[in-house]
């Protein structure tokens, strides 16, 4: 039907006008600045990551009603991973790279009705008014494969219809046929890792989402063995992905309103609804398989198998941003999401030599079916030409779903100092967990030596205890201190846009 | 009106889903997997690290870890003519030191079919249908625990083994008729989004068949060699299966399997860190030179 | 976090446009308000305008940085600015009056309302404030009086009305007698001291419409300056009202 579309208004006249080519080249190298958040203590103070990205974005606009976007990135990893001589025969391990299609979609504007736009294809959608912490924004999963690039999202195929019946009201309807989960940082493995001493003896295992007395019962079982006779294999975490039936589709609707408040200012707010799944995994079952070593009495091999799931949820959302007419009043924004979750009952089983140990079969409600709230409220203010501040209160981090870990509270400040005609910017940002007092601090200096060029020298510094504050509680781990939070690093990035 | 309809659709979808089963019950999942003798939990078994090798040090009993090859021979007649069906099942088995039973883990099943020449003159080449197990089922590493009637460490006693693919909550899993499509006892065991388990057909048609299956082995007593490095034996088997969906309707036809009597099993002692991947990669060398051959 | 510096940048770069009607004959015995009204007409007296520009910022050391952008304007109330080069390529600004502005941040795929506290700020050593970017009619904002005149210009003192939405105490506008071009503006701060000077020059004919093609804003306190070069200018292109909406801002055309 697209051939029916008739260009209007300012018409593109040639291919140069129809095509817009942009993108960037970015190089990023990181160095770990501690040695206790890796696989074993003492491993650190070394180059952690080296990434070199080339991004191409092509926009084709044959007329004012139609747009096609293709955005692709090639990433080369600069760290050699060849371990065998045979791997030196090619580039696969020495100079690894991957290709990512960020976006590829078709958009039609004002068709079939003047008040309607639609998009179809691989998209990244953005809802909400807060900075980054958008509990009402659940259409795309998050891409935390690079924890420093915390704004990234996982693109997904979707159909989006936007309706603009008036200039003060708009309605978005989105359907996402297939569920796609969030990408996790490589350090996630440490959340399940068993800690051993240098000589391989068992030290501790992360607490499962069980009651304290249940965790104690597990501890008692392992206490029967000498720590050096417990041989834990690497825990295996299986992801139980949702099926491809239509009930696993996601759908969302968002109605946005703009309201003038006269001399006071302007208010924009939205009401939204989302049906789908939480994109971060939630612990579902765990099985400890114990096998007595037939050759050595008292020696036990332990396999630990974990299943995680993506629970269903419905989200009723409200977001707003208020812009005061007075220059002395800060901008205020916020989001509130009431989440109606699928109940998740965690089950744990212990098999000894293949036999179920009934006394150690346990269960606990990991996610209650009662609705809970995730929210963000913030304000920002430009004090002078060189000082800008933004502070947010966040209830519920990206990966929190009111499971046995609970919903935590955070303060996220961001202060920008601008120097030398804005060629330099010092940005002090942090996220502080006010419940366990751990924090991530990420200061950076951004230098724009020439238009289109940005150099960034920064750090990501996790503060908190790597060991659980309460080893017998699933909620006992330190949010930013635990090993799963990843290593503290300093980084240098260079980026050129075109 | 358009926006009203669209919004209504979204709300209806949400309400319908909200009225459904909004509980993920981990304990029930474990009961389904272990209570019925099946599991879709993976056996990590050292993640395949370490050198692949069989054990050559003599042992004192059958306790330990074994690689298992189960050779089943039967016939099928999907076109009226008799085709020969050879199924080679690959498993891992663990026998605890107390000789109380054996814990089997499914790794893969290889299928080989021979057909008579076809065509009007019966001179055309055999068609040789081909299919294999979907990756999801292999990844699921279905397991079952089979207790011995009394502890045994000197030989593998005669046992019956039940395998259920895509089935759970059967009242009498050994004898109940297989349910039909849509029955709640059918589940997506390989986690690929389709009910039952997926068999990938590659010849003469191409596509996926979603099926349920009950396999019963009646293993005769297994005889170990003097070093307890091998166990050999015979078996009888029974396969009941049903297609409950397919990517192509032509793949819905599932022919009954008529077992033959020349079925054998072979067990080879392997180290404790031996994995399914090791077995699939090195199965020929693992089962090379069995005793008596 | 929130990219306010970029946002300010967008606002600033959308600033002063000095355009004029070709060869308008100077009038004598015009009152100051009439002079300003005629100047307004040279600036915004079209149904719509499309302008392509380069902005070059020069610091005290003589170091320069340049950015390209396109301005689309309809009447005196609606203006859309899109950046086409530099690290802010893709960013866009929609101004719908003296205090209502929205910015599109392509990196975040978000449209944000520009807060009032950001309107008086400048960016990157640029010599424009954000509020300079709003389209306006000076004759409606000023209480004008004639300071002096010479052969080529009227010098109009513009005392800003309370609702003007600008944070200067007054302006002195240099209006060309032959062209009614806004050839210059002196900006005075709240304390009454001269802050910066704008001068426009190099009249050029674009598709039959003559305007000054170079605008230079200089901070008299620092010597810092910002220059706008207009490369193309078209009027009455039939830009629809729908182009100046938040919907269009997100759409990106």
According to the model, what pLDDT value does residue B176 have? 92
Contact B110, B123 (CB under 8 A): no
**C-chain residues near A327 (CB < 8 A):** 116-117, 119-120, 167
CB contact under 8 A, B63 and A287: no
Give the C-alpha separation, B208 to B166, whole Å: 15
Q: Are strands B264-270 and C48-58 parallel, antiparallel or unpaired?
A: unpaired
According to the model, what pLDDT value does residue A13 have? 57
- φ, ψ of residue C38 in degrees (nearest 5): -70, -35
According to the model, what pLDDT value does residue B287 have? 87
Q: How many residues does chain C have?
A: 253
Structure tokens of A48?
């952690």
**A-chain residues near C116 (CB < 8 A):** 265, 323-327, 329
What stretch of H or E contains B4?
Answer: helix B2-19
How many CA atoms lie less than 13 Å away from B263 in the CB half-sphere? 24
| Structural domain boundaries, residue C114 | 4-251
CB contact under 8 A, B30 and A349: yes
Give the C-alpha separation, B11 to A385, whole Å: 47
Contact A446, A459 (CB under 8 A): no
CB contact under 8 A, A284 and B28: no
ipTM: 0.80
Structure tokens of B128?
């040789």
Q: Are strands B23-25 and A343-352 parallel, antiparallel or unpaired?
A: parallel
How many CA atoms lie less than 13 Å away from A479 in the CB half-sphere? 22
Tell me the three state secondary structure of residue A154.
Answer: strand
Q: Which residues pair with A235 in a beta bridge?
A: none
Average pLDDT score over chain B: 77
CA nearest to C244, candidates C53, C77, C88: C77
- φ, ψ of residue A318 in degrees (nearest 5): -140, 130
C240 close to A (CB below 8 A): yes
Q: Which residues pair with C175 in a beta bridge?
A: C154, C182
CB contact under 8 A, B44 and A161: no
How many A-C residue pairs are in contact by the CB < 8 A criterion?
Answer: 134
Give the closest of B9, B23, B94 to A343, CB-based.
Answer: B23
Task: Judge C/B contact: 3 or more CB pairs < 8 A.
Answer: no
Q: What is the DSSP letter of A194?
A: P
CA B172 to chain centre: 19
Distance of residue A100 Cα from the nearest chain C Cα, in angstroms: 17
Spans of chain C below 50 pLDDT: 1-27, 124
Give the C-alpha separation, A52 to A70, whole Å: 20
According to the model, what pLDDT value does residue A223 have? 78
According to the model, what pLDDT value does residue A165 have? 93
Give the closest of C110, C113, C125 to A323, CB-based.
Answer: C113
- The position carrying tokens 């969302």 is A252
Q: Which residues pair with B104 in a beta bridge?
A: B93, B144
According to the model, what pLDDT value does residue B53 have? 60
Give the closest of A323, A414, A423 to C116, CB-based.
Answer: A323
**C-chain residues near A329 (CB < 8 A):** 116-117
- The position carrying tokens 């980054």 is A132
Contact B68, B267 (CB under 8 A): yes
CB contact under 8 A, A385 and C118: no
Nearest-by-CA chain C residue for A128: C110
CB contact under 8 A, A304 and B44: yes
Give the C-alpha separation, A77 to A79, whole Å: 6
**∠C39-C42-C44 over CA atoms, to 5°?**
105
**pLDDT for residue B4 is more than 60:** no
Give the C-alpha separation, A191 to A399, whole Å: 13
CB contact under 8 A, A385 and C121: yes
Q: CA–CA distance from C19 to each of C16, C140, C141 (Å)?
A: 10, 18, 19
What stretch of H or E contains B9?
Answer: helix B2-19
**A-chain residues near B100 (CB < 8 A):** 353, 355
CB contact under 8 A, A284 and B24: yes
CA nearest to B280, candidates B293, B289, B290, B270: B270
Nearest-by-CA chain A residue for B187: A243
According to the model, what pLDDT value does residue C83 have? 85
Question: B5-53 pLDDT, tens per residue?
Answer: 333 333 333 443 443 457 888 877 777 666 533 232 222 222 333 334 6
Give the C-alpha separation, A347 to A310, whole Å: 16
Give the closest of C2, C125, C240 to A380, CB-based.
Answer: C2
Nearest-by-CA chain B residue for A164: B3
**A-chain residues near C123 (CB < 8 A):** 385, 422
CB contact under 8 A, A287 and B41: yes
**B-chain residues near A171 (CB < 8 A):** 3, 6-7
Question: A391-412 pLDDT, tens per residue?
Answer: 999 999 999 999 999 999 999 9
Give the closest of A324, A329, A497 to C89, CB-based.
Answer: A497
Nearest-by-CA chain B residue for A291: B96
Distance of residue A249 Cα from the nearest chain B Cα, in angstroms: 9
Q: DSSP assignment of A217-283, as one string?
A: HHHHHHHTS-GGGEEEPPPEEEEE---SSGGG-EEEEEEEEEEE-TTSEEEEEEEEEEEEE-SS-EE
CB contact under 8 A, A238 and B42: yes
Instruction: Give percent of chain C with pLDDT exceeding 70.
Output: 82
Percent helix, strand and coil across chain C, each rounded to 5?
20, 45, 40
Give the C-alpha separation, A232 to A340, whole Å: 37
According to the model, what pLDDT value does residue C23 have? 40
Q: CA–CA distance from A327 to each of A5, A384, C95 (Å)?
A: 45, 11, 17
Q: For residues B182 and A278, which has the higher predicted lDDT (pLDDT)?
A: A278
**A-chain residues near C99 (CB < 8 A):** 325
For chain C, positions 38-67, list CB contacts with chain A under 8 A.
50, 57, 59, 65-67
Nearest-by-CA chain A residue for C68: A451
C119 close to A (CB below 8 A): yes
Give the C-alpha separation, B281 to B51, whole Å: 12
Spans of chain A below 70 pLDDT: 1-13, 421
CB contact under 8 A, C238 and A9: yes
Alpha helices in A134-249 (DSSP H): 212-223
Tell me the three state secondary structure of residue A404.
Answer: coil
C116 close to A (CB below 8 A): yes
- The position carrying tokens 């600045």 is A33
CB contact under 8 A, A380 and C251: no
Tell me the three state secondary structure of residue B276.
Answer: helix
Nearest-by-CA chain A residue for C245: A167
Nearest-by-CA chain C residue for A381: C117
- Catalogue the long-range contacts made by C98-103 (C-beta closer than 8 Å, 24 or more residues apart): C98/C131, C98/C134, C98/C136, C98/C164, C98/C165, C99/A325, C99/C134, C99/C165, C100/A266, C101/C11, C101/C130, C101/C133, C101/C134, C102/C246, C102/C249, C103/C6, C103/C7, C103/C10, C103/C11
CB contact under 8 A, C5 and A498: no
According to the model, what pLDDT value does residue C100 have? 78
CB burial of A308-335 (b: ≥16 within 10 Å; e: otherwise) equals: bbbbbbbbbbebbbbbbbebebbbbbbb
How many domains is chain C partitioned into structurally? 1
Neighbours of chain C (3+ CB pairs under 8 A): A
According to the model, what pLDDT value does residue C50 have? 93
Task: Judge A/C contact: 3 or more CB pairs < 8 A.
Answer: yes
Contact A235, A304 (CB under 8 A): yes
According to the model, what pLDDT value does residue C25 have? 43
Give the closest of B24, B98, B102 to A344, CB-based.
Answer: B24
CATH number for C99: 2.50.20.10
User: Predicted confidence band at B122 (pLDDT cuts at 50, 70, 90)?
Assistant: low
According to the model, what pLDDT value does residue A20 have? 86
Question: C133-181 pLDDT, tens per residue?
Answer: 666 778 888 899 999 999 999 999 999 888 777 778 899 999 999 899 9
Distance of residue A76 Cα from the nearest chain C Cα, in angstroms: 22
**pLDDT for residue B133 is more than 60:** yes
Question: B54-99 pLDDT, tens per residue?
Answer: 777 778 889 888 999 999 999 988 777 788 888 999 999 988 888 8
C235 close to A (CB below 8 A): no
CB contact under 8 A, A382 and C117: yes
């Amino acid at each position: 039907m697209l051939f029916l579309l008739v260009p209007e208004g300012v018409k593109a006249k040639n291919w140069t006008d129809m095509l817009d080519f942009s993108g960037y080249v970015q190089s990023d190298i990181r160095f770990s600045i501690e040695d206790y958040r890796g696989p074993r203590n003492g491993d650190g103070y070394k180059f952690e990551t080296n990434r070199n990205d080339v991004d191409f974005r092509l926009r084709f606009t044959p007329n004012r009603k139609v747009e096609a976007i293709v955005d692709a990135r090639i990433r080369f990893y600069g760290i050699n991973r060849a371990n065998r001589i045979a791997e030196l025969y090619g580039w696969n391990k020495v100079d690894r790279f991957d290709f990512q299609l960020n976006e590829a979609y078709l958009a039609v504007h004002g068709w079939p009705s003047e008040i309607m736009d639609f998009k179809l294809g691989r998209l990244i959608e953005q809802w909400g008014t807060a900075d980054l912490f958008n509990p009402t924004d659940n259409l795309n999963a998050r891409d935390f494969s690079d924890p420093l690039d915390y704004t990234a999202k996982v693109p997904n195929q979707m159909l989006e219809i936007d309706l603009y019946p008036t200039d003060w009201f708009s309605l978005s309807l989105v359907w996402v046929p297939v569920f796609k989960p969030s990408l996790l940082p490589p350090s996630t493995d440490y959340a399940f890792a068993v800690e051993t001493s240098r000589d391989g003896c068992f030290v501790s295992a992360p607490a499962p989402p069980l009651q304290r007395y249940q965790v104690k019962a597990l501890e008692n079982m392992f206490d029967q063995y000498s720590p050096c006779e417990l041989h834990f294999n690497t825990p295996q975490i299986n992801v139980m992905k949702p099926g491809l039936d239509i009930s696993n589709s996601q759908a969302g609707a968002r109605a946005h309103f703009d309201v003038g408040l006269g001399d006071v200012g302007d208010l924009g707010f939205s009401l939204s609804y989302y049906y789908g799944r939480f994109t971060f995994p939630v612990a579902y079952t765990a099985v400890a398989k114990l096998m007595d070593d037939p050759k050595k009495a008292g020696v036990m091999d332990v396999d630990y198998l974990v299943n995680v799931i993506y629970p269903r949820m419905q989200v009723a959302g409200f977001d707003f941003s208020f812009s005061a007419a007075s220059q002395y009043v800060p901008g205020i924004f916020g989001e509130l999401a009431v989440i109606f979750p699928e109940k998740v009952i965690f089950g744990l089983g212990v098999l000894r030599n293949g036999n179920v140990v009934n006394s150690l079969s346990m269960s606990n409600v990991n996610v209650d079916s009662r609705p809970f709230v995730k929210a963000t409220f913030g304000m920002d203010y430009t004090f002078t030409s060189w000082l800008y501040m933004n502070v947010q209160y966040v209830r519920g981090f990206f990966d929190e779903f009111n499971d046995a870990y609970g919903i935590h509270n955070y303060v996220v400040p961001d202060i920008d100092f601008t120097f030398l005609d804005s060629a330099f910017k010092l940005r002090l940002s942090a996220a502080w967990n006010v419940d366990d007092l751990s924090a991530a601090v990420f200061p950076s200096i951004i230098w724009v030596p020439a238009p289109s060029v940005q150099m960034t020298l920064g750090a990501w510094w996790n503060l908190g205890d790597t060991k659980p504050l309460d080893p017998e509680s699933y909620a006992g781990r330190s949010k930013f201190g635990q090993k799963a939070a990843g290593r503290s690093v300093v980084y240098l990035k260079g980026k050129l846009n075109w | 009106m358009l926006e009203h309809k669209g919004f209504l659709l979204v709300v209806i979808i949400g309400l319908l889903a909200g009225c459904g089963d909004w509980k993920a019950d981990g304990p029930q999942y474990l009961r389904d997997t272990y209570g019925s003798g099946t599991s879709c939990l993976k056996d990590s078994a050292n993640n395949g690290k370490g050198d692949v090798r069989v054990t050559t040090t003599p042992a004192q009993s059958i306790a330990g870890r074994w690689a298992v090859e189960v050779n089943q021979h039967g016939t099928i007649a999907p076109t009226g003519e008799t085709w020969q069906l050879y199924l080679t099942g690959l498993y891992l088995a663990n026998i605890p030191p107390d000789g109380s039973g054996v814990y089997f883990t499914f790794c893969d099943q290889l299928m080989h079919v021979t057909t008579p020449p076809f065509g009007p003159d019966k001179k055309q080449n055999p068609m040789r249908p081909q299919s294999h197990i979907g990756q999801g089922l292999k990844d699921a590493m279905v397991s079952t625990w089979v207790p011995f009637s009394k502890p045994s460490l000197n030989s593998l006693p005669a046992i019956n083994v039940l395998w259920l693919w895509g089935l759970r909550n059967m009242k009498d899993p050994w004898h109940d008729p297989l349910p039909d499509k849509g029955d709640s006892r059918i589940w997506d065991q390989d986690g690929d989004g389709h009910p039952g388990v997926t068999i990938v057909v590659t010849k003469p048609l191409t596509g996926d068949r979603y099926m349920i299956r009950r396999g019963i082995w009646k293993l005769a007593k297994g005889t170990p060699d003097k070093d307890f490095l091998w166990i050999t034996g015979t078996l009888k088997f029974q396969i009941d299966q049903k297609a409950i969906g397919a990517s192509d309707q032509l793949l819905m036809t599932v022919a009954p399997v008529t077992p033959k009597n020349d079925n054998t099993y072979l067990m080879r002692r392997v180290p404790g860190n031996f994995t399914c991947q090791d077995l699939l990669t090195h199965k020929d060398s693992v089962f090379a030179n069995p005793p008596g051959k | 976090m929130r990219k306010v510096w970029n946002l300010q940048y967008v606002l600033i770069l959308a600033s002063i446009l000095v355009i004029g009607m070709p060869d308008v004959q100077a009038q004598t015995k015009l009152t100051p308000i009439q002079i300003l009204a005629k100047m307004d007409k040279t600036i915004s007296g079209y149904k719509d305008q499309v302008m392509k520009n380069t902005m070059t910022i020069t610091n005290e050391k003589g170091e320069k940085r340049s950015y390209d952008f396109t301005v689309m304007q309809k009447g005196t109330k609606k203006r859309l600015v899109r950046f086409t080069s530099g690290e802010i390529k893709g960013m866009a600004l929609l101004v719908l009056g003296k205090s209502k502005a929205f910015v599109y941040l392509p990196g975040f795929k978000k449209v944000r309302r520009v807060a009032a506290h950001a309107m008086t700020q400048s960016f990157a050593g640029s010599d424009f404030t954000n509020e300079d970017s709003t389209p306006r009619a000076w004759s409606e904002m000023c209480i004008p009086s004639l300071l002096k005149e010479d052969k080529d210009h009227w010098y109009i003192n513009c005392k800003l009305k309370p609702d003007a939405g600008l944070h200067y105490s007054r302006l002195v506008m240099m209006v060309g007698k032959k062209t009614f071009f806004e050839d210059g503006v002196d900006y005075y701060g709240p304390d009454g001291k001269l802050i910066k000077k704008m001068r426009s020059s190099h009249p050029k004919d674009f598709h039959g419409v003559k305007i000054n093609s170079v605008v230079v804003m200089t901070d008299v306190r620092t010597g810092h300056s910002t220059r706008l070069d207009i490369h193309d200018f078209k009027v009455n292109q039939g830009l629809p009202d729908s182009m100046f909406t938040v919907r269009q801002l997100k759409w990106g055309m």
